[in-house]
Amino acid sequence: MKTKLFFTAALAAFFSAGARIGAFEGMAIPGQASEKNSVTRTIPVTETAQARPETASPEKPAYTLKYQEETRQTIKDLAAILAKQDRLDPKKLDDAAKDIVKLDKKLKALLGLEIIKELETEEKALLEKEQSSSAKTNLALVRSALQIYYGDHNGVFPDTLYGLTPDYLNSVPDLQLPGHEKTDKITMIDSRKHETSLSSAVADSGGWLYFTNKDSINSGMLIIDCSHKDPEENLEWYKY
């Protein structure tokens, strides 16, 4: 209907312009009278009608969710259920869980596979960024504790990382690198055979790798036992 009205209006405007031009064609235009003659000359109007510039159709306004406030509140309530589930009535929680499953199916059908995949990719990238940041923070934390211990013990590093607790660290932090499970694994190397190549000591456990041999140039060195690259810096983890 809107398209029909638009063309109707355009046609009316066009023919209206044509009618005005036609009325001027052949109109007598007073000319300058000569000394001998004061005859009025007629000058045909040769102006042609110019087409009106096309106007862009108005963009369709984006759909606005009708129940925005209610949707936000529902999200808050679901987050509260996750955070406080240990304080909720188990039976009521089970009943609510069934409705939540039904709602989730409807939401996934609404979003579609393409959007869901986009969200999963974004979520994975965010998670990996958090894991990378946490690993580098923990590495700096433990190395700092090792240096303080070294200074307090006349240039001697602890035999194990657990020697840092509880005076220098409350606990040895776990590691969870992108692509690895969370682990508290600490591999200690009491050897000099990896002095020329740290990569040869890496076993990709995703945990800590600590060199303890007092005669080695690597004594007291702590690295991350992983040869994969940090997705943020594109650098192998053991090289940090």
Cis before 166? omega within 30: yes
Same domain, 127 and 147: no
For residue 220, the enclosing domain spans: 135-239
How many CA atoms, within 13 angstroms, populate the side-chain half-sphere of residue 151?
7
Tell me the sheet residues that pair with 28.
42
Residue 129 confidence (pLDDT) above 90 = yes
Confidence of residue 64 (pLDDT cuts 50, 70, 90): confident
Same domain, 142 and 124: no
Given its phi and psi angles, is residue 234 left (phi above 0), alpha (psi -120 to 50 degrees) or beta?
left
Say if 113 falls within a structural domain. Answer: yes
Give the integer Cα–Cα distance in Å for 240 and 6.
67
* pLDDT attached to residue 68: 87
- Note the pLDDT tens digit of each residue in 71-125: 899 999 999 999 999 999 999 999 999 999 999 999 999 999 999 999 999 999 9
Say if 158 falls within a structural domain. Answer: yes
Residue where a domain stops, chosen among 132, 167, 182:
132
Say if 38 falls within a structural domain. Answer: no
Same domain, 169 and 201: yes
Q: What is the mean pLDDT of residues 222-228?
A: 96
Consecutive H or E run containing 110? helix 90-152
